[in-house]
Structure 1
């Protein structure tokens, strides 16, 4: 294979990873959209919902607004989720491919670093859409500040200090992304290895087209869900901090949270403590994280297989090992 053919092949792989990541992001975000909205309302302690729980909050949204209100902000979420997931998964594969040269096979350190780097790359590019989506999801029908994506972006840019307004909360998001993305990808890869090592006959099946052994759907969901639970536990306080900063300018009483990451963290802890402050909404986050990560990882892996990417860099060591023991 000459140089031009190698470049063409690499481009094809990147495009297929983009498609697989985009499909995964769209499916996973749509699945948990109602939980996403109530999580934002609880994290930032909206006046109508701060005293409610997960299910009572969902019920209140439907009664106060409408059933479709559960999906408020989902359009911009889709606009963000597809490129975000596509960039994250594609960057992960590319980083892992290059980092693998520096680490011993089976160490999984390259998987952790690649996951963190992929998450940071995707978040940095799509962060303004995340801020706009949070603003749209936080407002209620009786108190609407923004009529849509464009209106929110223009108003924030003009009234809140230009591009800086769209990136408010960026640093806690970046710092939280490292353990979140790192532990999610690391845990998923580690669990795949453990499934292969201890239960290959039950959790792996043979691909009809390629003949390679791959994780079956239940195993993908299990590994993805566990990866989401682990990752969110480490990164959640920074996620709460990010949301407070993103939504700070929507109400005069919360302007104080726009001052900076460390001061916001301190105020949340001082005012509400750890459980009701830094981990506010954590229960719904677990409810959300498990199906989100499960559907995301499962759809990514299924789409990769449909696009003949099932024997990529993240699978090769497991494929070789399973051939030896089955």
Structure 2
């Protein structure tokens, strides 16, 4: 039995862990929401925004363009759906990670590279079936670039996705809700190395810090260390798995161009290659890194702070 479980009942421990994770996920996503919208527009090769790609100056220019044409709220278009996904996803994910870590790595000797990767992969997959439709709706809202007076709503996006399903025939015609899972397979495949890599780097670097730094130094600089380690973890995983993210986003947005069917992995790869060659699989990577560094730094560090505040 862990020291956390000796202080709390199992239920109270899970509730506190979920609150800490949900807070961390919501705070991180809110901080970088405008950058997330620009990244999605670039990843899906939106014709109106491709002129902003390929340059660091393109990011502030794209943000300014959105604010001028859609208002400040346009920078957060679809953010409610982001929170609806991110908060439960982080709450479930971090809680699952706590329990999986206790199960897979109960002793310091059991903290091997394989087990760290496995714990992260399980964490990444745990909440996806429940929260994935929210991500798809958020992407559909993000790719809309119409003027602010006609801003799309989550309900209009939901109705549009359901209509795509009913018009497609076959199994998705019988079960139109399946269209809310466009790109789910590649997302599931991508989350294994992505989340696995994040928690692997996170645990490994924190272990190195504990081994190399004195307890006093660790105590005095704990939040700074967590911010740096979280940033490195997010950066490494983002670079290695970014092509899968581009494919996933393209599939999620594909209903705008192919509403009567869901395009497959091979067709998506071919369309991205045809449009921009191998560089197409890294469109928006600079912005992705610019966003992911603070996202994971804030998320992982605030998770630790929330755990401390909740005494877990």
What TM-score comes out, normalization by structure 1 length? 0.84
Q: 1:303 to 1:174 in 2, by over 3 A?
A: same
Q: Matches of 1:143 and 1:91 in 2, distance apart?
A: 40
Helix, strand or coil: the match of 2:51? coil
Helix, strand or coil: the match of 1:47? coil
Q: Matches of 1:187 and 1:46 in 2, distance apart?
A: 33
- What is the match of residue 55 of structure 2? none
Q: 1:145 to 1:246 in 2, by over 3 A?
A: farther
Moved more, 102-111 or 90-99: 102-111
Q: Matches of 2:107 and 2:42 in 1, distance apart?
A: 43
Trace 1:83-98 onto structure 2 (pairs within 5 A). 83-98=88-103
- What is the match of residue 123 of structure 1? 128
The one of 224, 230, 254 equivalent to 1:224 is 230
Q: Matches of 1:80 and 1:166 in 2, distance apart?
A: 13
1:77 is aligned to 2:69: no
Q: 1:140 to 1:73 in 2, by over 3 A?
A: same
Q: Matches of 2:101 and 2:19 in 1, distance apart?
A: 18
Asked whether the 8 Å contact 1:257–1:264 carries over to 2, the reply is no
- What is the match of residue 211 of structure 2? 197
Q: 1:92 to 1:145 in 2, by over 3 A?
A: farther
Q: Matches of 1:203 and 1:243 in 2, distance apart?
A: 42
Q: Matches of 2:107 and 2:216 in 1, distance apart?
A: 33
Count of residues in Structure 1 that have an aligned counterpart in Structure 2:
295
The one of 291, 295, 298 equivalent to 2:298 is 295
Aligned-residue Cα RMSD (Å) equals 2.5
- What is the match of residue 60 of structure 1? 65
Report how far residue 268 of structure 1 moved: 1.3
- What is the match of residue 187 of structure 2? 173
Deviation digits for residues 49-93 of structure 1, max 9, x if unmatched? 111122221121112221221111101111111101001111111
Q: Matches of 1:170 and 1:26 in 2, distance apart?
A: 22
Residue segments in structure 2 that go unaligned for 5+ positions in a row = 53-57, 166-171
Asked whether the 8 Å contact 2:20–2:306 carries over to 1, the reply is yes
Residue segments in structure 1 that go unaligned for 5+ positions in a row = 207-214, 310-326
Moved more, 117-126 or 21-30: 117-126
Deviation digits for residues 23-47 of structure 1, max 9, x if unmatched? 0011000000000000000001112
Asked whether the 8 Å contact 2:144–2:152 carries over to 1, the reply is no
Q: Matches of 1:183 and 1:203 in 2, distance apart?
A: 27
Trace 1:25-36 onto structure 2 (pairs within 5 A). 25-36=25-36
Q: Matches of 1:92 and 1:299 in 2, distance apart?
A: 16
Q: Matches of 2:210 and 2:243 in 1, distance apart?
A: 34
Q: Matches of 1:42 and 1:241 in 2, distance apart?
A: 12
1:132 is aligned to 2:137: yes
Deviation digits for residues 248-299 of structure 1, max 9, x if unmatched? 12135xx699420122123312331222x11110000000000000000011
What TM-score comes out, normalization by structure 2 length? 0.87
Report how far residue 17 of structure 1 moved: 1.0
Q: Matches of 1:147 and 1:29 in 2, distance apart?
A: 21
- What is the match of residue 12 of structure 2? 12
Report how far residue 216 of structure 1 moved: 1.2
Instruction: Give the number of the structure whose residues are more often helix, by fraction.
Output: 2
Q: 1:139 to 1:297 in 2, by over 3 A?
A: same
Helix, strand or coil: the match of 2:110? coil
Q: Matches of 2:203 and 2:260 in 1, distance apart?
A: 41
Q: 1:92 to 1:34 in 2, by over 3 A?
A: same
